[in-house]
């Protein structure tokens, strides 16, 4: 009996620390797993709340929304780490988390991966702004190199944008031009507005060679869209620079560039014209301008939709597209399709913008002679508009 | 000394027993799930019992063709679960058509996962071939995404929107023209306007 007792007391020495160690480590692991961070960003009447946590936790969470509260039922107990000065009152108990809302008129929730997160977009009732917005809207958790368009609006442009009329029929004064322009009459046709005015001059252009890096674009035999667009952009840059225009290229080498990076770069230069060069799979030239209407009424998308930015310049963009189409038809005697589509490269720009697609199909061959013809044509189009 | 050895043996035995119990539970648990899965035949397998489909549903596939979308109807064995229908739709959509040379549908795209959220947004996780094998222009990219969206919402009425993921991640764009960071509805709901209607273009 004494022997067993002695064995038991010795075992206690070993077992107890072992049990405690196990319990402590599992408790530590559990605590780490169930942590959910809560952050928010705001812009005008829209607030975005992001709850980020472990994949399984987010995937299996149920979100119940009303205009007065958001209730999230997690599959297990969680610890919510709130951003300081969070706007709303919250209640948390075990696996339930409730956000009590105020003055919200619309609410949307999304579940996104990479990183796993629940995104809650709230639209509050419009009211007079008492103080300027301090914090840009952040879609927290998106890859660092991809920023929401609203985040990247240069402050200089914002201040310039405010006094300008939002009516699409009223063409704003191009950047760098001080002479006041006569506003167009409502109902004026695009053709009428496209007539060259003496005061209108192109001074600064941004040319965007499409694709780049791993994104090759269309590949036809040995010709890759990314290379051809870059070569054409460089040639166009040379001839336009000789004419005294300032030209910026979004890329000068074979490098990948996101759409966001392209529009950010172009916006920062405040160009009088943005031309993006792409190839078409069809055996014809296509020139795209942005669409006039909003693609939808979804709050979340409207936040990022920048059709309104391009809206002011739409008439100019259409006028440039028509002039370029005329020059191309004259030189190549083929069809040129003028199309309007809500392409982000166009809609998110605060400048006249077109996407030109040259044909890269059938027997299209872009030797030196052909490239010179293309450049000559584009130059005559730009000059005609100028 | 003798006591210490006994203690070590006892502790080792307890640990071994715990390990065996844990391992046993793990294998039994997994085995049970597999058995359950085997025991319950899926609606699809029930449909094709004896090698003959007993019931079919017809999918309406909106395929990009030239400058527009064309609707093709395709009968498939009846599925009951929405996820099974969605799976069949996506697999059919990315099957290369007969004249594959003219198709803008990227080849070898695999469906990696599907789930929908409380807002009835269907998340489609596709393999990287979607991006790697797509080499086309802005209109083709628009038609490919519009066709995918229309195909899903026209066959599964309670789906409100579609979000495309590639290898489980959001990507900025498919072919360098349109944004894929948001669900497709708004991206594809704006129609292409043209001087000459797309259908009449030569």
For residue range A106-126, list pLDDT tens digits in order: 777 788 877 888 888 888 766
Query: Chain B closest CA to A194's CA: distance in Å?
Result: 16
| B119-171: pLDDT as tens digits | 899 999 999 999 999 999 999 999 999 999 999 999 998 899 999 999 999 99
> Among A196-200, B161-165, B193-197, which stretch is predicted with the lowest mean pLDDT?
A196-200
B170 vs A: CB within 8 A: yes
CB of A5 within 8 Å of any CB in chain B?
no
**Is the Cβ of A237 closer than 8 Å to some Cβ of chain B?**
no
pLDDT digits (tens, 9 = 90+) for B84-101: 999 999 999 998 665 656
- Note which residues in 119-148 of chain B have CB less than 8 A from chain A: 119, 121, 123, 135-140, 142
Q: How far is CA A113 from CA A10, A56, A110, in A?
A: 51, 11, 10
pTM: 0.59
Of the candidates A111, A284, A335, the beta carbon closest to that of B117 is on A111
How much is the pLDDT for A27?
56
* For residue A164, pLDDT beyond 80: no
A237 confidence band (pLDDT: 50, 70, 90): very high
Radius of gyration in angstroms for the set of CA atoms belonging to chain B, rounded to a whole number:
25
- Tell me what pLDDT residue A334 has: 80
A29-34 mean pLDDT:
56
- Cβ distance A342 to B10 less than 8 Å, yes or no, reads no
Chain A residues within 8 A of B102 when measuring between CB atoms = none
Q: Taking Cα atoms as reference points, which of A355, A110, A107 lies closest to residue A233?
A: A355
Can you tell me the distance from the alpha carbon of A317 to that of A333, in angstroms, rounded to the nearest whole number? 23
pLDDT, mean of residues A333-338 = 87
Domains of chain A: 34-142 (2.60.40.790), 189-385 (3.40.630.40)
Region for A253 from its dihedrals, namely left if φ exceeds 0, alpha if ψ lies in -120 to 50, beta otherwise: beta
Confidence (pLDDT) at A194: 40
A189 — phi, psi (to 5°)?
-75, 155
* List of residues 6+ apart from B75 with CB closer than 8 A: B56, B57, B58, B59
Q: ipTM score of the complex?
A: 0.71
Per-domain boundaries in chain B: 1-40, 53-200
Higher-confidence residue of B143 and A384: namely B143
Distance CA B168, CA B90 (A): 16
A113 touches chain B (CB under 8 A): yes
How many secondary structure helices (H) and strands (E) does chain B include? Answer: 6, 6
A-chain CB neighbours of B179 within 8 Å are 259, 304, 344
The size of chain A, in residues, is 386
Beta strands at A246-249 and A204-209: parallel, antiparallel or unpaired: parallel
| pLDDT of A232 | 95
Q: Which pLDDT score, from 0 to 100, does residue A305 have?
A: 54
- pLDDT tens digit sequence for A259-316: 999 999 999 999 999 999 999 988 889 999 998 765 555 544 554 454 567 888 989 9
Tokens of A380: 């005559």
The pLDDT, as a whole number, for residue B97 is: 65
When the pLDDT of each residue in chain A is averaged and rounded to a whole number, the result is 74
Confidence (pLDDT) at A170: 34
Distances from the Cα of A348 to the Cα of A77, A371, B14, B175, B197, angstroms:
42, 29, 67, 18, 25
């Amino acid at each position: 009996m004494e022997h067993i007792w002695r064995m038991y007391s010795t075992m206690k020495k070993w077992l107890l620390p072992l049990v405690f160690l196990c319990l402590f480590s599992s408790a530590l692991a559990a605590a780490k797993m169930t942590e959910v961070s809560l952050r928010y960003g705001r812009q005008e009447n829209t607030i975005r709340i992001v709850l980020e946590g472990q994949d399984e936790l987010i995937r299996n969470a149920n979100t119940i929304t009303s205009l007065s509260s958001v209730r999230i039922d997690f599959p297990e107990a969680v610890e919510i780490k709130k951003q300081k000065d969070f706007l709303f009152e919250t209640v948390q108990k075990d696996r339930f988390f409730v956000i009590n809302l105020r003055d919200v008129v619309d609410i949307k929730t999304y579940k996104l991966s990479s990183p796993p997160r629940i995104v809650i977009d709230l639209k509050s009732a419009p009211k007079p702004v008492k103080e300027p917005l301090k914090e840009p809207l952040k879609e927290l958790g998106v890859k660092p190199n991809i920023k929401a368009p609203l985040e990247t609006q240069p402050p200089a442009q914002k201040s310039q944008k405010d006094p300008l009329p939002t009516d699409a029929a009223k063409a704003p004064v191009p950047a760098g031009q001080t002479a006041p322009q006569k506003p167009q009459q409502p109902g004026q046709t695009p053709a009428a507005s496209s007539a060259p005015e003496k005061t209108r001059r192109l001074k600064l252009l941004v040319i965007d060679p499409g694709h780049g890096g791993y994104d090759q674009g269309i590949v036809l035999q040995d010709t890759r869209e990314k290379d051809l667009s870059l070569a054409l952009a460089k040639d166009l840059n040379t001839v336009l620079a000789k004419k005294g225009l300032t030209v910026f290229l979004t890329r000068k080498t074979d490098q990948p560039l996101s759409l966001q990076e392209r529009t950010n770069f172009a916006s920062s230069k405040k160009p009088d014209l943005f031309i993006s060069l792409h190839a078409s799979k069809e055996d014809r030239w296509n020139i795209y301008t942005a669409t006039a209407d909003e693609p939808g009424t979804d709050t979340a998308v409207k936040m990022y939709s920048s059709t309104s930015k391009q809206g002011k310049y739409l008439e100019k963009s259409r006028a440039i597209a028509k002039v370029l189409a005329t020059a191309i038809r004259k030189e190549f005697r083929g069809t040129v399709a003028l199309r309007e589509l809500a392409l982000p490269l166009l809609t998110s720009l605060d400048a006249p913008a077109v996407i030109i697609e040259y044909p890269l199909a059938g027997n299209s061959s872009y030797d030196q002679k052909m490239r010179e013809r293309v450049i000559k044509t584009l130059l005559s189009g730009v000059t005609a508009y100028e | 000394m003798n006591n210490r050895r006994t203690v070590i043996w006892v502790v080792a035995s307890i640990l071994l027993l715990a390990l065996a119990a844990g391992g046993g539970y793990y294998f039994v648990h997994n085995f049970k799930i597999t058995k359950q899965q085997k025991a319950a035949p899926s609606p699809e397998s029930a449909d094709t019992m004896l090698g003959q489909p007993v019931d079919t549903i017809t999918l309406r596939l909106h395929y990009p063709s030239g400058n527009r979308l064309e609707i093709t109807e395709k009968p498939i064995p009846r599925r009951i679960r929405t996820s099974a229908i969605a799976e069949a739709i996506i697999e059919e959509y990315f099957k290369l058509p007969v004249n594959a040379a003219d198709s803008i549908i990227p080849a070898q795209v695999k469906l990696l996962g599907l789930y929908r959220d409380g807002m009835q947004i269907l998340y489609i996780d596709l393999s990287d071939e979607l991006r790697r094998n797509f080499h086309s222009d802005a209109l083709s990219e628009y038609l490919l995404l519009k066709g995918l969206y229309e195909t899903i919402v026209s066959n599964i009425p309670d789906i409100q929107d579609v979000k495309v993921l590639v290898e489980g991640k959001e990507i900025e764009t498919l072919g360098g023209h349109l944004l894929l960071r948001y669900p497709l509805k708004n991206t594809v709901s704006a129609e292409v306007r043209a001087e000459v209607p797309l259908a009449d273009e030569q």
